[in-house]
Amino acid sequence: MTQAYRNLPSVDKLLALPELKELADVLPQDTVTSLVRHQLDSARAAIKGGAEAPGSKALAAAVVEHARDLWHPRPQPVINATGVVIHTNLGRAPLSGDALSAIRRVAEGYSDLEYDLAEGERGSRHSHVEELLRQLTGAEAAMVVNNNASAMLLALSSLATGREVIVSRGEAVEIGGGFRVPEVLSQSRASLVEVGTTNRTYPRDFENAITPQTAAFLSVHASNFKVVGFTNAPELADLVTLAHQHELLLLHDLGSGCLLDTAEYGMAHEPTPQESIAAGSDVALFSGDKLLGGPQAGIAVGKAEVIQRMARHPLARAVRIDKLSLAALMATLVHYLKGEATEKVPVWAMIASTNEELQERAAIWARTVGKRGTAIQGESTVGGGSLPGETLPTWLLALDAEGIPGGAAELARRLRKGTPSVVARVQDEKVILDPRTVSLDEEPQLLDAVSVALA
């Protein structure tokens, strides 16, 4: 092993190689030197594990590959053929063309982000979307932050610090990324009071828990799981009435910001901000990048006095939305105002796709692929912490991986590593691609990628 270490070239010897001299024409010399040292450290670790010492050429090639990897654009685009409409790991909701144009328009120069053009003085970034959100939800006021977890933290910090917040035990939940309601309450310095049981909670449980230290009731929509069987949950309107009788606030975390009725598209009904405001919630909190179909954002709508308290809190600046997301969010909301969401907002265009349309597309894909492809019936899911357990009927392209070493797993890997990258799913030793989540513009690229992967 000692000899293997001695066989490693020096830093200077590697830097003298032609390929690394060429790399130094692209990157600063200090950066290239750092990459060389990093590669040598990796080689020493490999030798310690029993590997042979790599040669100078192999080390130089590894350095060049590492350098190219550093400047490769990220995140990189992928084609989502999984059939999961709001795929958290793939960036959730794709944006509409108008939203993309809005981002570019604002990014290319200066904007009136926090400037009142009429008065010639400082303005508020919330003013750009507040009226739109008021019109769409019926709320008195609105504000936007960088995501719904921030909106929840801000609401609790500004409205309940040092006091108690009562929540049903079945709603003290954990959502994606380890985000837990009890821990957010702790961070806000509000005290959590859990009532009821995991499966059954009643308004009387909330009422019996009220003390002089109680600030609010918190209702959390179960957006990513279901409790079925012997269950009971209080109606939101009943909790609102009870909270207001005791001069308490009702905070409602909807999770996904769904402005359309999902039942009209063959799915279970998802609570909407409009319904929350109509029921009397003091503040309703929801995401911008789930069923709303816009950029990452946390939206708070509700009573003017409550929203003002949130906006004045010092934390509001730390979690404020950036100008690019704000521009995209406004463009997305305009689609709802104009009644064109199912045509212009990609997630709703996907949800609204008919079974006949999907069958035709899957059949075309199968004919294009040839004997390796078959159109079959299947199911899509909404995903992204929305409508747990709900599926949509669809048609799929099933790819036969027979004869490929490694089978379906290897074929799926080839698709992921191709250009463009295609993310599919494996089912019954077949690679499955769902046209619901593939745009018409992406179809030629997807079919080319499939052809290459099958070759």
CATH of domain 78-88+347-454: 3.90.1150.180
Q: Kindly report the CATH class assigned to 97-340.
A: alpha beta
N-terminal to C-terminal alpha carbon distance within the chain: 42
Q: Which residue numbers in the chain have pLDDT < 70?
A: 1, 173-182, 184-186, 223-229, 385-386
Give the per-residue pLDDT at 224: 55
Give the per-residue pLDDT at 3: 80
Phi/psi region, residue 178 (left: phi>0; alpha: psi -120 to 50; beta: rest), is: left
Q: Is 97-340 the same fold as 78-88+347-454?
A: no
Give the per-residue pLDDT at 248: 98
Give the per-residue pLDDT at 179: 55
* CA distances in angstroms from 280 to 20, 201, 249, listed in the order given: 67, 20, 10
Give the per-residue pLDDT at 158: 95
Give the per-residue pLDDT at 175: 58
Dist CA 106 CA 352 (whole Å): 30
Q: Do the beta carbons of residue 282 and residue 305 sit within 8 Å?
A: no
Give the per-residue pLDDT at 453: 96
Give the per-residue pLDDT at 72: 86
- Which three-class secondary structure state does DSSP give residue 401? coil
pTM of the shown model: 0.89
Indicate the domain borders of the chain: 2-71, 78-88+347-454, 97-340
Q: What single string gives the DSSP state of each residue in 165-203? A: EEEEGGG--EEGGGEEHHHHHHHTTPEEEEES-SSB--H
241-273 exposure pattern, b = at least 16 Cβ within 10 A, e = fewer = ebbeeeebbbbbbbbbbbbbebeeeebeebbbb
| Strand blocks (E) in 13-112 | 78-80
* CA distances in angstroms from 336 to 23, 292, 324, 380, listed in the order given: 51, 9, 19, 24
